[in-house]
Amino acid sequence: MIDSLKSTLSSAGPSKKIDIYNQLAWEFRKSYPDSTLLYSQNAIEIASKSAELNEKVVKSLNFKGVGHFYEGENIKAFELYQQAKDSALIYGDSLQYGYSLNNIGRLYFNQGNYVAAYDNFFRALEIFEAVQDSISMSYGYKSLAELYQSQNNLEKALEMSLKTAEIRQIFDDPSGIISIYLEIAGIYGQMENYNYSLKYFTEAYEVASTINDEANLAIIKLSIAEMNTKRGQLAIALNNANEALDFASKAKNVNLIIQVYSLLGEIHYYRNEYQQALKYFDKVNQLATNNDITYEQEAYYYISMISEKQGETEKAFDYFKRYTTLKEKTENVNTAREIERLEGRLALEAKEKENELLKKNEETYKQVIQNQRAFNIALTATIVLAIIILVIIWITANRRRKLNQILQTKNIKIEDQQKKITLQNKEIKAQNDELIIRNKELDDLNNEKDSLLSLVAHDMKAPFHRIKGLTELLRLSGLNEEQSQYVGMIRNNAKHGAYLINDLLDVNSIVTDKEELKSESFELKKILDDTLSNFLIELTNKQIEYKIECEPGLKVNTDRNYINRILENLISNAIKFSNLESEIILRAGVIKNNFWISVKDFGPGFTEDDKNNLFKKFKKLSAKPTGGESSNGLGLAIVKTLVDRLNGKINLETELGKYSEFTIYFPIS
């Protein structure tokens, strides 16, 4: 983006150059604030050269203040924000006036003056809401959310963050959406509402996946791992942390890698896997720099604890001394920073009082100037009134002549329009003929696509099954725990790939070929037991209870393979979208000439829009898998097609945020 902006500078006019310089200043603010100062100053210089562009100086002053803020020069930042605020009043720029207040609020917030920060944030938000600028409103809500969080007012912080998320979803800003979802997930985590915390982590993960943001993907998985560690779910936390390490390594983000190594060491420590823990804490110490003493300090602490448990007293004491040295250093740095914050706060308050005194003196001079200005305005108004009367007389004389010319021009245009309409009708007919030919070509291409999909999916099925077979052989060859974990991950990925291939083959064969139904007699309760037994691992991983309610001995005649495929898709969906530690209920029975089967879960439920798209292929609904599982949008489409083949009916009962229950009715053959 920066390269693109710079490339347009040479051909841009003065007004456009100011906008480009301002945007460049904003993009550089966090990494290179000195560049922010340079580009905002360039914009100020261009704006000051032309009276028509003077009003653009307000945004540039705000951005220059942001540059000094990130340089740590709070007094200079405060002075520029005040200049921007005064200029905004002069030019009637309400939006930038609001930004100036918000920026001043952030200065007070960083200095620990929360009362002054709240006052400025709230006044800024009132302005943003008054002008109905959505982006600015989200900025104001987020500032208040951070302030409420610092005061441990989690309910208000959550309210502000949810409002920010609602606005950001409207705009194409993936990074902003990821950031606010992570903030909301963190607040829910502090409130110990882990289901909602996991929900927003999952939402953030999906957005980050669409833009392949590996750094944020690592942060999300790391946050989920920390939450599961806190809850004591160490096996799940270990899997999450390994996924975070994979993303952080791809992003080549050393700071994130250090954080993941630290958490992996902590997890293995709590699992009493001390050698594994030591391996990761050693990696932390190898990568840590002066900027990472917090993680180095934690590593020394845990190495000391492990050494003590292993009877290595001298080593434990040596590492504990290193830990206390770093801890003392951290405390000294924090104390110095707090002193610096207090000094900055005093300087900021002194500067504000100085500004108030200058404004009082300025009001006296303004009154004298205003009186003289009133006389000049009255004289100017008299002259302008005389000129207006002369202009009205001249305009009236010319208006009649112009009206005649306009009527003649309109007549000519009407004739031209009629000719154009005739020509357009001919073009439309030609385009319709071409569309008929194109539709025929599209039908042929669609048939070729179906054939190719079936061929490719069928050829890909065998490799996935071979990979699963090889993982089974590896598991029997005597692996250690870490190797077993990696082999398990390979097996799970191969299994998920095979499931996707099966779904693709199913949906393609269902559309293109109609299998002949094979009716056979079987017991309803047995098929429920057999099908559910295939999902015991997934149920255990999410700690989901299950219940089967069916009278033994009930037999029906229909295509057993179809019923089995229908149940597998419904049970798989129920597990994916169920909350942790919830329940799944399977029921079946016979009513008159029909038998029925139902699958009920206590997950997020379906919206009205979801119901309209429920059985469409490749259509993902509003609900997201609660454990980060994959969903290809084919399961319910396959279920609907198979139910129709068996002359059955499918019914959904759902309540948003509480439960969903699919009930299928089939005629008894």
How far is the C-alpha of 523 from the C-alpha of 547, rounded, in Å? 17
Which phi and psi (to 5°) does residue 591 adopt? -130, 115
Return the pLDDT at 9.
87
Q: Hey, is 661 helix, strand or coil?
A: strand
Closest CA to 40 of 57, 15, 54, 16: 57
Return the pLDDT at 369.
40
- For the cut 70, the answer to whether the pLDDT of residue 276 exceeds it is yes
How does pLDDT run across 325-383, given as a tens digit for each residue?
888 877 665 554 554 555 555 555 555 555 554 455 445 445 534 655 665 576 677 67
How does pLDDT run across 457-507, given as a tens digit for each residue?
555 656 776 786 778 777 777 788 787 777 777 876 676 566 556 655 665
Helices 114-131 and 94-110: crossing angle, nearest 10°? 160
Q: Which one of 1.25.40.10, 3.40.190.10, 1.10.3720.10, 2.60.40.10 gives the CATH number of domain 212-311?
A: 1.25.40.10
Calculate mean pLDDT across residues 602-623: 82
Share of the chain above pLDDT 70, in %: 82
Q: Helices marked H in 8-73 — which ranges?
A: 14-27, 33-48, 57-71
- For the cut 90, the answer to whether the pLDDT of residue 60 exceeds it is yes
- For the cut 90, the answer to whether the pLDDT of residue 398 exceeds it is no
Calculate mean pLDDT across residues 250-270: 93
- DSSP of 292-356: GHHHHHHHHHHHHHHHHHTT-HHHHHHHHHHHHHHHHHHHHHHHHHHHHHHHHHHHHHHHHHHHH
Return the pLDDT at 608.
87
Among 66-80, 285-299, 409-423, 512-526, where is mean pLDDT lowest? 409-423
Return the pLDDT at 344.
52
What ranges do the domains of the chain cover?
A: 212-311, 518-667
How far is the C-alpha of 477 from the C-alpha of 470, rounded, in Å? 11
Return the pLDDT at 34.
94
- The residue among 448 and 278 whose pLDDT is bigger is 278
Calculate mean pLDDT across residues 451-456: 56
Q: Hey, is 656 helix, strand or coil?
A: coil
- Residue 263: band (very low, low, confident or very high) from pLDDT cuts 50, 70, 90: very high
Return the pLDDT at 361.
47
- Residue 613: band (very low, low, confident or very high) from pLDDT cuts 50, 70, 90: confident
- β-bridge mates for residue 556, sequence order: 522
Return the pLDDT at 492.
64
Share of the chain above pLDDT 90, in %: 45
Please state, as a whole number, how many other Cβ atoms lie within 10 Å of the Cβ of residue 641: 18
How does pLDDT run across 233-250, given as a tens digit for each residue?
999 999 999 999 999 999
The Cα diameter of the chain in Å comes to: 108
- The residue among 621 and 20 whose pLDDT is bigger is 20
Return the pLDDT at 362.
47
- For the cut 80, the answer to whether the pLDDT of residue 394 exceeds it is no
- Residue 423: band (very low, low, confident or very high) from pLDDT cuts 50, 70, 90: confident
- For the cut 80, the answer to whether the pLDDT of residue 652 exceeds it is yes
Which phi and psi (to 5°) does residue 659 adopt? -165, 170
Which phi and psi (to 5°) does residue 115 adopt? -65, -50
- DSSP of 145-194: HHHHHHTT-HHHHHHHHHHHHHHHTTSS-HHHHHHHHHHHHHHHHHTT-H
- For the cut 70, the answer to whether the pLDDT of residue 418 exceeds it is yes
Which phi and psi (to 5°) does residue 556 adopt? -135, 160
- For the cut 80, the answer to whether the pLDDT of residue 510 exceeds it is no
Q: Which one of 2.40.110.10, 3.10.50.40, 1.10.150.120, 3.30.565.10 gives the CATH number of domain 518-667?
A: 3.30.565.10
Give the global pTM: 0.49
Q: Hey, is 391 helix, strand or coil?
A: helix
